Structure 1
Amino acid sequence: MTSVETTHRDGITDGDDDAAELPTTPCSVVWSGGHSFVLEGVGGRARWAGVDDRGRARFLTDAEMRRRGWSHDRR
């Protein structure tokens, strides 16, 4: 079996095209900018919760996460 590296930036995927979409399951974890973000639902609206370089809470929408770039693995 061959290993295919997959990266996600601006909705473009190198590798598996089906993996280009952000996860939608609550408590899913993705990585962006060296930090982990967890998908949490708030009042029917999902958002990605994480921290910045100083440990302050950071909340991102799906669109913001796509703009920043993300992956399933820490990079």
Structure 2
Amino acid sequence: MSDTTSTTADRKLTEGTALPTQPCSVVWSDGRAFVLEPPVWVGLDHRGRLARLTPAALQRQGWSHDKLS
């Protein structure tokens, strides 16, 4: 599955769904895990560098509760 397809699938899965709010919650975006460390979601970018996303940025990027291949 291509990155574009995965991102589109992430967005379809979470359309109209609110992000979890419990600290240490884990969601997947673009094949990478992000953990909620209020007030931001922390994970790694496509180069393996630390990435901090606001809830709005993660919502725009697309996310799911399950890792999509």
Fold shared, TM-score > 0.5 on shorter chain: yes
Residue aligning to 1:7: 13
Instruction: Work out which of the residue numbers 60, 66, 69 in structure 2 matches 1:73.
Output: 66
> Is 1:38 aligned to residue 31 of structure 2?
no
Residue type matched to 1:65 in 2? L
In the alignment, is residue 52 of structure 1 matched against residue 58 of structure 2?
no
Q: 2:26 aligns with which of 26, 29, 54?
A: 29
Secondary structure at the residue paired with 1:39?
strand
Q: Give CA deviations for 1:18-66 in whole Å, capped at 9, x if unaligned.
A: xx1100000000000110000002xxxx100000121100000010011
Stretches of structure 1 that go unaligned for 5 or more consecutive residues are 1-5, 14-19
Structure 2 residue matching 1:67: 3-state secondary structure: helix
Structure 1 runs, 4 residues or longer, greater than 2 Å off = none
- Greater strand fraction, Structure 1 or Structure 2: 1
User: Matched residues in 1 for 2:57 and 2:47: separation?
Assistant: 19
Structure holding more helix per residue: 2
Q: With CA pairs under 8 Å and 6+ residues apart, which has the higher RCO, 1 or 2? A: 2
Q: SS at the partner of 2:35?
A: strand
